[in-house]
A and B are shown apart, each in its own frame.
Chain A
């Protein structure tokens, strides 16, 4: 049986990894390589590469690492606990802007202003960041349960956020593609929804909206594994927030995920987020760079107001939209996302 060189080489490559399951195909590939000078050279060079050891960590370097770790665990559990607690806030992907931006141009007048319900929300933004952090793992239903027991919430935060920390830092969430693995994404990513292309992060349960003037709808399965459903969204108390009515008795507050550039808020954009835990991808029409430096899609264009490097498409200005590379530090509005993110000025 004749075999193409590329096919034979592919089979040999997979065989090196123990992944070639078809013995006949492997034999055929070997036969091919025995009779093909080019493939024989390929196998010979591949074998030579394989024979070499990978670089190992120099012993002194390893000892230094261990020394640091010993210092870490000698001061354990208190320090560790602090670190994990800090991470709750650091990895919470949303940024709530307590000082509202300029009122939006659309329907500002018709927006309900339910100060009694929203004032505590804004005032307790930091606490709610934590609540949002556990929403991913605890589920919306937990949040929707009548509680009024902040002490319990506080305790729960610690344990669940530890899980969140581990998964975020470990990259489970960061490398999970949209809808690749519902269970994994639900457990690892932030609780985002999309209103249009604008990404909003869960803040927590709120009172139902007073106004019947919807600002659109969000389609999400929330924290369930079921199919996405469409929910009406209503304006929140600030231009950055919306209220999503889950059912007659339950409403959830969400805040736009924003970052400032030259004093102007830019919000995170994506094309599809179907469930909590799914990380935003670049919006349609914005290709994925193939290199860590953003090339060939983006070029660096300075930093935003947080000091994070921003990237633009060649020939464009950041004022119309910019990208941020994966790997931003914890505390960043997009922390935890190892994919590129896209930001446009808030409408």
Chain B
């Protein structure tokens, strides 16, 4: 049951706050993936995603002194990313996280269906999700937030996050699974 391992951001953030540009660059490199992925899912366009990522990190750089560490850096970064995308408009998304949390032995009735799933098909399906469900899944899957952290960032109860994440996954599975038809 492992979640996405977060790098130890606090030391990097502290250094960046002191003006250590190398530390900030390390932060950017460490977190560019989720930011870009969120934006890509939000916009469905790599160029817009790149623009959004750039704006996110510029905002983070300019306001990192205001980050007091009360929340996790990832939570704060998620908020910035979400707001930047909202500012720029449109949608998209997906999630990492190593699996095998649920060691259900599946004697593959339809392994070919699972094998047919690719990042591209998942990303396409992600963009069909309702924005609020996609946002929740992005917070959890991409940024590695806990349900409680996502709830705080999204301004909804924890139970709502849980149900949105589940709803998003259910929709993805329906779209991509054996019964799901459209494989794109």
Contact = CB atoms under 8 A, between A and B. Distances in A.
Interface in A43-86: 43-58, 61-62, 64-66, 68-70, 72-73, 76, 80, 83-84
B80 A40 contact: no
Contacts of B182: none
A170 interface: yes
Given A172-B79, A290-B132, A50 B95 contact: yes
A51 B94 CA distance: 12
Contacts of B62: 72, 80, 83-84, 165
Contacts of B176: 45, 48-49
Interface residues of A, number: 71
A58 B54 CA distance: 13
B50 A16 contact: no
B119 A34 contact: no
B91 interface: yes
B36 A19 contact: no
A54 B170 contact: no
Given A44-B114, A50-B99, A69 B25 contact: yes
A1 B31 CA distance: 43
A33 B180 CA distance: 19
Contact of B80 (A33, A50, A171, A184): A171
A305 to B, nearest CB: 21
Given A54-B142, A57-B33, A175 B79 contact: yes
A162 B63 contact: yes
B38 to A, nearest CB: 9
Contact of A167 (B66, B109, B177): B66
Interface string B73-114: 000100110110011111100111111111111101111011
A176 B122 CA distance: 30
A41 B50 contact: no
A37 interface: yes
B79 to A, nearest CB: 3
B122 A49 contact: yes
Contact of B86 (A37, A49, A64, A327): A327
Contacts of A76: 19
A291 B165 CA distance: 17
Contact of A171 (B79, B91, B108): B79
A77 to B, nearest CB: 8
User: Which residue among A14, A34, A55, A326 has the maximum number of chain B CB atoms within 10 Å of its CB?
Assistant: A55
Interface in B1-58: 1-3, 19, 21, 24-25, 28-29, 32-37, 40, 46, 49-50, 53-54, 57-58
A171 B1 contact: no
A163 B29 CA distance: 25
B154 A175 contact: yes
A229 B88 CA distance: 39
A336 to B, nearest CB: 9
A40 B106 contact: yes
24 contacts: A9-B166, A13-B166, A19-B147, A33-B102, A41-B109, A44-B108, A45-B113, A45-B173, A45-B180, A46-B173, A49-B169, A50-B95, A50-B97, A52-B94, A55-B37, A64-B50, A69-B57, A162-B63, A166-B64, A176-B155, A290-B132, A292-B86, A327-B87, A327-B88
6 pairs of A and B residues whose beta carbons are closest in the complex: A166-B66, A171-B79, A166-B63, A57-B36, A48-B114, A171-B83
Interface of A: 9-10, 12-19, 26, 30, 33-34, 37, 40-58, 61-62, 64-66, 68-70, 72-73, 76, 80, 83-84, 162-163, 165-167, 169-172, 174-177, 180-181, 184, 290-292, 326-327, 329, 338
Interface of B: 1-3, 19, 21, 24-25, 28-29, 32-37, 40, 46, 49-50, 53-54, 57-59, 61-67, 76, 79-80, 82-83, 86-91, 94-106, 108-111, 113-115, 117-119, 122-123, 130-132, 140-142, 146-147, 152-156, 162, 165-166, 169-170, 172-173, 176-180
